[in-house]
Structure 1
């Protein structure tokens, strides 16, 4: 049984609050999970009415509250209405809500947390040192061995799961930042994720960094000096890991079902194919935290915010994954 799942609303000038409420309307009746929404109570009530969702909110005063959906509004006052996209007030609130949800997970008040999208640029402009929500949460949790997984499926329920060896790194710096230790960590987290998901096997495929996986050193040597040693080290730990393979061909075989999860060397190498097949239902899952954290795999979508047309599929998938993981938690 799942107890409490926290959802922080992210940037309220984007579609986060909308997809959160739409997802709860679709998912709340599936089981007895209780949800704590961390965000602006007035905005949520107005949006609830505007979207005709008829969700029943309760103010949160502790885990013994009666009800299913609760709101914790920790800001000293309501956010101004009609904020411009990426407004500093929205950025500051998003960071405060993220910090609150993370701390509640660390205090074991929540079984897991889901983060709605934020805008990194607006958070940085508002004066925060910020790389991304994954990094922020990992730093707060003291989890220096976390990894980012993205997963999604196509309309035939064929899944693609990708773990990144490097995350938000400029392309020109990937080779410098890529180390054997990072590749080993990504492989280990990828294998463990299959166990956490209850998959019958944990067969990991590893991408090369260079075209054709380096062509034996003719197109780059990282496969020889970094990636292959990491793969061999993980084989010695009895992990079912294979590669490095040329990335342009590998995803075809992964999608056929030959492998369960891919380790990609850099952001776009892994996420372009993932978003190709799972754009509307992709999920970001942070591996290696002491608690569950998922998020929808999309941004703030300022261009459609406030129009009531945002697709909640990715948020629904993030909620479902968080609950699935919580049920399997020891």
Structure 2
């Protein structure tokens, strides 16, 4: 194995978020309220071979978890082939994806059999009408059937992401808690994050996760210990619940201290942070297998410039126009 990817703050990187497309078929208010518009003119997404070279380089430098993201990653016709390729890579132990769930009902078994180990599904409301209002799509029941299909296919746990939105879904905690009482779902509440195109939405609907955290602790929920390849959620469990609650609170002062993930966009740019100011071009080093040493060297060189924090709490939003642009 080559040297473990590590930055100047002694953070090691075990987790790659690999975007395979920035196209999405939903119109979520906090991401693509006007629908998908191409952000990369005349630029194609990474091919299966190029994606393989990215994954191989990261695996050789200690990465054990790859999350496939988008846009909506399952819009790629070769999605199952991408899952199988990553699962076959020596050193990769977890192959996850984040999805809006619209294709899950039909394909959960196929993806499980190809080597997918973890699924995150976005469900921002358990009220079908509010779900439609937030996502722009009337697909609540289809997505819920997809989650059931994932359990039937053999996934032991499904993670569900819900973006906290004041005055929209902020009153649904009791319904969400009731839903996970008997289902092994890790429900993750994600604070709304300010991006370049979302200033007014952020001002109107941002809600801190602290109130939920306080409610959980007061009602006997206990925080779990985080493993080295876990994402940034603070996860809570309760003896009376089959499910768990995760809180992702990027405006907390120490949020970035445990950063363990890097991002590669669908067009081959390395991003140190979702809210970074630039991307590092990798695609010229993804054209044949002989370039891996140079690819690793470029990534290691870029890590020397990774900042200690995203500085969101100081109003910094970086270059990210919306979350779909580099894989959320």
State TM-score, norm by structure 1.
Answer: 0.30
Q: TM-score, normalised by structure 2?
A: 0.30
Task: Pick the structure with greater CA Rg.
Answer: 1
